[in-house]
Chains A and B, each alone.
Chain A
Amino acid sequence: MKANGKVFKYGSNVDTDVIIPARYLNTSDPAELAKHCMEDIDAEFVNEVEPGDIIVADKNFGCGSSREHAPIAIKAAGVSCVIATTFARIFYRNAINIGLPILECPEAVEKIQKGDVVEIDFSKGVIHNMTKCESYQSQPFPEFIQEIMAADGLVKYITKSLQE
């Protein structure tokens, strides 16, 4: 499994309220949520994001409430991976469970800049910065988490493995 796209870069403590403001939570439709993704810190995000793009942020990404709407909005906006120094614990779980790949890699966060084009090999945990011709190593996901991602989330993964 691989991801490839250009980078949007943010700082520390990007909370679930800016990822998807509470005023839009009267729906859980992913496409509707995606229209407002990040709008409170980056109004241009929804206009500029293209399928495959990558978010890179510093510490404690996704802090705040436990709403699963936050990773859903990011994923539905087309983002293929979020790389951060650290993630808030429940966001981390929710992202994986809904099939949004996330990686922790302080080195990548330090070196990658806005607009860089990055390719990620999830099976090896390698983040390749095509713009700068550099590679950064993060801990690769174990096989079963890769399978969750490939199946597009935990519920689909389980459904599939139960049918087999």
Chain B
Amino acid sequence: MFSVPPSGRFNHKTVKNLENFSLNKKSNAWIKFLIAGFLILFLVYILNLSTSPVKNYFFAISSPIQKLMWTAGASSSLYFGSFLNAGSLARDNKYLKEENQKMLFQLSFLQSISRGNQEFSQISAVNQNRGFDVVMAGVIGLEANDVLSINKGSADGIFDGMPVINEQGVLFGKTSKVYKNFSEVILLSNKDSIINVKIQKYQDDQMIPAEDLPPEISGVVRGRGGLSAYMDLIPINTDINLQDIITTSSMEKVFPKDLLVGRIIQKYADDQKPFQQAEINLFSDVSGLENLFVITNYKQAN
């Protein structure tokens, strides 16, 4: 088709043929490129139609390896962390001793209250407990946007929107996407997470007696991402202190009340705004976390 003339020179027709060949080659490349692009978009569409079984399959086969890696990461980070944080160990130890003493004082104070209001306490306890059923789930991974993966799903009685806590009653978040054998938990630090909370007041390292308790200070905790969160919509005329404990409030419909959320570490108040904000330290720490508990019947009881 493109034979070279005996004279070695290309005539006009040959040059034109060469140009057309070059254009055809480029347009062929673009056609292949467009076909490949279309096939990829089609593949993405098919994948999205079958997201649940695909993800469930991969998580099911990866769960043992993920669990192993999660445990290895937790234990090795604790080991290396002890070397890096040696300087702060003494400080943390002192702080924990003081906290322990404070808790012992509060325990004795609460015991005296409960002796005086035993019937009232029993009713409160029953209402609080309500016979919650929990399903223990192992933590296997942390996805982007502060979403935790656990190795239990709809086959274990877990559904969307169930509260997730640890054994100390610290709130971690709620279940979002639930597959057959695993589930995703939206943590409190997720950017889309907003929960109603209240502040437990302390004064001079002692718990305030019941008759002197100020009205409940309510607000919301919003996730910021990166495993951090802050408290917002705190009325400007209320007095909050550093180290105040934050718990879920009775206004919260998804989560039971009085679950531990975090502690205030910094506050921001602007007189020109109707609300103040506070930086908080969440109690829900994922490092070293092995298991969580999903409350499966809170909504039904509520």
- A and B: real partners? no
